[in-house]
Amino acid sequence: MPIPGIPVLEGKYFATMDFYPIEAPEFNRISKFYENLAQKKLTTTKCKKCGTTPFPPRVVCPECNSDELEWVELADHGKVLNLSEEVAGVPLGFEAPLIHAIIDLGNGLRMLSRIVNCPAGQLKEGDEVKLFVFSIPPMIMDIKEGTKESPRVFFAFEPVKK
Ligand SMILES: [Zn+2]
Q: Is 52 within a domain?
A: no
**Do residues 132 and 155 lie in contact, with contact meaning Cβ atoms separated by under 8 Å?**
yes
Q: Is 1 within a domain?
A: no
- Per-residue model confidence as pLDDT tens digits over 74-126: 999 999 999 999 999 998 778 899 999 999 999 889 999 999 999 999 999 99
**Nearest of 96, 158, 162 to residue 132 by alpha carbon:** 158
Q: Which parts of 29-110 fold into alpha helices (H)?
A: 31-38
The environment of the single-atom ion ligand 1, i.e. residues with CB closer than 5 A, is: 47, 49-50, 52, 61, 63-64, 66
Distances (CA, A) of 67 to 24, 75, 120: 21, 24, 43
Domain holding 137, by residue range, is: 7-41+76-159
Compute the distance from residue 69 Cα to the ligand 1 centre, in Å. 8
Q: Into how many domains does the chain fold?
A: 1
Q: Is 64 within a domain?
A: no
Compute the distance from residue 68 Cα to the ligand 1 centre, in Å. 8
Q: Is 32 within a domain?
A: yes
Q: Is 95 within a domain?
A: yes
Q: Is 116 within a domain?
A: yes
Q: Is 53 within a domain?
A: no
What integer pLDDT is reported at residue 143 of this predicted model?
77
Read off the pLDDT band of 161 (50, 70, 90).
confident
Compute the distance from residue 22 Cα to the ligand 1 centre, in Å. 26
- Per-residue model confidence as pLDDT tens digits over 17-64: 777 888 888 888 999 999 999 999 999 999 999 999 999 999 999 999
Compute the distance from residue 21 Cα to the ligand 1 centre, in Å. 25
